Amino acid sequence: MLNTKPSLVSATVLSNEVVMPGVFSLRLYCPEIAAAARPGQFVMLKCGESLLLRRPISISDANAPSGQIGLMIALIGKGTDWLSRRQPGEELDVLGPLGNSFEIDDRAERLLLVAGGMGIAPLNFLANKAAALGKNVTLILGARTGELLCPSSHLPDVNECVLCTEDASVGIKGRVTDCPDAHVEMVQQIFACGPLPMYRALAKDPRFKNKPMQLSLEVRMACGIGLCYGCTVNTRQGLKQVCQDGPVFEAQDILWQELADL
């Protein structure tokens, strides 16, 4: 989970495509970041001259030989709207990689990845790394409706993919915690990324809380480099900054009752 030294670079936009309603994918050429990036880390993107604060975006994949990184971004404001209109050949001001990373136990052969909605972004990167290590990977992906599920063309190649939708339009009816027991019992490590209600449900479910589980906290960030303390959370080890000490934490270290809605 060690942090890597970030770089401030001018990255070239290689492609910009719609993934699903309200979500787009940017592919950037930035060799320095691609070579250093680890699953779970993020970048801070400058969004035009009129917007002061950068936007934190999880790295969804990185390829050192090609010098490319992929970003999956939800349209949620002026900054991401500006990013959604970038064209191939344009340059973006990018700082990264930032934060710590997921850590796969060498002894763990079977891994479970639990993604809620946009939580698939960092877990996509992790799944590809796990596959390269020869791990057996099961992905549980949940969303409110089938329309909001990441399409198969943007999902990692895993041993098994379990889909859950709250309206039963695709896969299992319900949330990720409604998955069959068999998908949880045989794994040695669990990795999760999604909204706070999903984390609270996982923390209460005995099937999940009794397994080693790392999760990526998604919180509002202003600086991304530990200067503003705006992303501070309370843990069993004291106050931690999500941008510096995270975004990846051990699930049992989080004081859920003290964590405000993100």
Binding site residue list: 55-58, 79-80, 223, 228, 231, 243
Burial class (CB in 10 A: 0-12, 13-18, 19+), 73: buried
What residue numbers does the annotated binding site for [2Fe-2S] cluster cover? 223, 228, 231, 243
Tokens 């950037």 label which residue?
A: 28
Rg (CA), the chain: 17
196 in Cβ contact with 242 (< 8 Å): no
Q: Where is 14: in which H helix or E strand?
A: strand 7-20
Which tokens sit at 76?
């949620």
Q: Where are the beta strands (DSSP E) in 102-255?
A: 110-116, 136-143, 160-165, 172-173, 189-193, 213-216, 232-235, 238-241, 248-250
H-assigned helices in the chain:
31-36, 78-84, 120-132, 182-185, 196-204, 206-209
What residue numbers does the annotated binding site for FAD cover? 55-58, 79-80
With CA atoms as reference, report the closest residue to 173 among 182, 181, 164: 164
Cα angle for residues 88, 94, 98 (degrees, 5° grid)? 135
Query: What contacts 158, CB < 8 A, 6 or more positions away?
Result: 113, 127, 131, 137, 138, 139
